[in-house]
Amino acid sequence: MKTNEIRRRFIDFFAQKHGHTEIPSGSIIPENDPTVLFTTAGMHPLVPYLMGEPHPEGNKLVNSQKCLRTDDIDEVGDTTHCTFFEMLGNWSLGDYFKEEAIKMSYEFLTTPIENGGLGLDPDRLSVSCFAGDDDAPKDEEAAKVWEELGFVRAENADPGQKRLIYFFGKKDNWWGPAGQTGPCGPDTEMFYDVIGGDIPEGDNPSTNGERFVEIWNDVFMQYFKKEDGSYEPLKQKNVDTGMGLERIAAIMQGVKSHYETDHFIGMKNKIAELSTGEKSGTDEEQEAFIRIICDHIRAATFILGDPWGVYPSNKDQGYILRRLIRRAIRKGKQLGIDAHFTHELAQIVIDQYGDVYPELTSNQEKIMEELQKEEKKFQRTIDKGLREMLKIWNEDECSKEFTIVDGEKAFFVYETYGFPLEMIEEELTKMGYTIDLEKFRETFHAAMTKHQEKSRAGAEQKFHGGLADHSVECTKLHTATHLLHQALKNVLSPEVEQKGSNITQERLRFDFNWPEKLTDEQVKQLEDMVNEQIEKDVPIYYEVVTVPEAREKGAIGVFPERYDVNVKVYKMGDFSYEICGGPHVIHTGSLGKFKITKQESIGAGLRRVKAIVEGGPAEVEYAGEKK
């Protein structure tokens, strides 16, 4: 079963058989998760609605969400790790709960293919539930539903019995809040035995992850984690499920790795066609290079094609994008690819995914242009980095007869010029140095670990991507970004568009496209225009309209590519009309005084401003739907 068919089959199952509304994928750049640079899970675009905001498409939803995880970039190359992936999910926002969610999951997995399911053998399925602790009880409710479906608790099973229920703790069967506080709860996970047959004693999903592959996770958001670390029951109980498309595609296609599925074959064939020069590494290493290129170019294509408009840079999402592209280029050179090639692979990605994610097609020109520009820049960087290496190590006090052990200098070259460790080692060898690889790599990785710990701490302080929380302070600043966005269009140009926002309780951060520094006069004009709307104390409300209606009424914001969906548009008097998920104050007068505190460049043609609001009431009402 092809990957596209699996995706479509999943969505149709919930939309046509179980009354869910299909919604488009959210941006790969998160709007509402305070902890990550990219959307790392299907829930991130839906956080406001999981917190209680009404969704314009109702309370039963289904979609395939674009996701990207960057923690394991250096691990990509094996058979399991990847950065970009799609997460299939169905959602209940205060509608059905555990029984319905579990039964629908089981139905889709085991219903014969000819009847719309995946046709998996129930005897090769195992499940796990939350074992309970001091914060929440054992999830007997979920376990009993599985028992109704023919599963048996592992502790009560006979030797050789299949369809077992296991109980694990918070590490395995609990989904925490998006931030420090928020909705959370137990989950039940489904595993598929990829080997089949008799299961050796002691083997289970916890002890043998190669045999038992997790294919689906149903999360039951029934608690709210408070600031003091305690939990209280949620008034609105939600269901959030996730099934990795690439992982289930590998199972359905009978292959051991998602890199062997149909969506990677085209890229792998093109890489083989382009690899005409001298190769380096063993056959196994070369296969790893191919996986890295496939993964990184697919991820880069989706980042560049995203409506939010990320470009390669040395900051935030742009830094990750540049790192992915350059690592792919380096691996291409090790495979004997001498010409510029990334745009050719990107074209394959666009052709494969364009029907499902039309933003790739509409942004095709930008994707191609940026990839080719980055390849040219990287070549210049390589030349400059080689000169820097000559300078660093030729000035070293050690003679070339002695072993080089200073991996910190190597990490400086890696971090500054994007030279991978193996490339640094290769160039040092050419320069005549003898390297104690063990000590050299040990000091290099120590420097890298120190840098990563510092970066993680910085990321936690920055609250990447959207609102840090739904506090009064964040709500005020979020409302102010709408006024700022429209003011930028009025003062600078109607072509100005938001390229990202980040809000803490202390300040707002707003990114937009503009080629030059704002003048003092422009800054004052922006402040005056926003404060004028605050002083008018205009009312704020939202209305649910179709995409064509929103366009016709002049709404600004990122429009879904699909026209058959509804969107929430917040109106602030006659000044601002913008697509958004909330939350907002009910009157602009609640904001206090608006002031821009800083502006800076964040890349070619992109600027960032930071601003605060001072004063205003400590308690506010929240804007609702126009009645």
Q: Read out DSSP for 189-213? A: EEEEESS-SPPPTT--TTT-TTTEE
Query: Same structural domain for residues 144 and 209?
Result: yes
Q: Which residues have CB under 8 Å from 532's CB, separation 6+?
A: none
Q: Calculate the CA 4 to chain-centre distance.
A: 20
Separation between Cα atoms, residue 384 and residue 378, nearest integer Å: 10
Longest CA–CA span in the chain (Å) reads: 82
Buried b (16+ CB within 10 A) or exposed e, 219-253: bbbbbbbeeeeeeeebebbbbbbbbbbbbbbbbbe
Question: What's the rounded Cα separation, in Å, for the pair 437 and 510?
Answer: 45
Helical pair 364-394 and 283-304, crossing angle rounded to 10 deg: 130
The pTM (predicted TM-score) of the whole model is 0.80
User: Domain boundary at 420, 437, 462, which?
Assistant: 462
17 and 101 share one domain:
yes
351, containing H or E segment: helix 342-353
Asked whether the beta carbons of 15 and 21 are under 8 A apart, the reply is yes
Q: How many domains does the chain divide into?
A: 4
Q: Do 110 and 180 share a structural domain?
A: yes
521 within a domain of the structure (yes/no): yes
Do 354 and 276 belong to one domain?
yes
Per-residue pLDDT, 315: 77
Within a 13 Å sphere around the CA of 89, how many CA atoms are in the beta-carbon half?
A: 29
Residue whose C-alpha is closest to residue 498's, from 321, 360, 308, 306 = 308
Q: Are residues 281 and 255 in the same domain?
A: no
Residues 304 and 321 in one domain: yes
pLDDT at 461: 38
Q: Which of 201, 226, 259 is the last residue of a domain?
A: 259
For residues 344 and 403, state if they share a domain: no
- Angle among Cα 592, 594, 599 to the nearest 5 degrees reads 155
Residues 251 and 117 in one domain: yes
Same domain? For 504 and 450 the reply is: no
Residue 389 lies in a domain: no
Residue 292 falls inside a structural domain: yes
- CB–CB of 271/295 below 8 Å? no
Whether residue 274 is found in the same domain as residue 177: no
Do 501 and 431 lie in one domain? The reply is: no
**End residue of a domain, out of 462, 480, 502:** 462
Q: Which of 558, 550, 565 is nearest to 22 (CA)?
A: 565
Question: Which runs of consecutive H residues, i.e. helices, occur in 80-148?
Answer: 98-110, 140-148
Report pLDDT digits (tens) over 43-91. Answer: 888 888 887 888 999 999 999 999 999 888 888 999 889 999 999 999 9
- Name residue 93's beta-bridge partners: 238
CATH number assigned to the domain comprising residue 476: 3.30.980.10
Take residue 472 and report the two structure tokens written for it: 């009064």
Structure confidence at residue 399 (pLDDT): 56
Quick one: 106 and 206 in the same domain?
yes
What are the 10-residue block averages of pLDDT along the chain, 627 residues in total?
Answer: 97 97 91 72 84 89 95 86 95 97 98 96 97 95 98 93 95 83 91 92 89 96 89 91 96 95 95 90 92 97 89 84 92 91 97 95 95 91 81 63 70 77 79 81 85 55 52 90 96 91 88 93 96 94 90 84 80 92 88 95 86 87 81
At 425, which helix (H) or strand (E)? helix 421-430
Domain coverage including residue 448 = 396-462
- Which pLDDT does position 459 carry in this prediction? 42
Does residue 33 fall inside a structural domain? yes
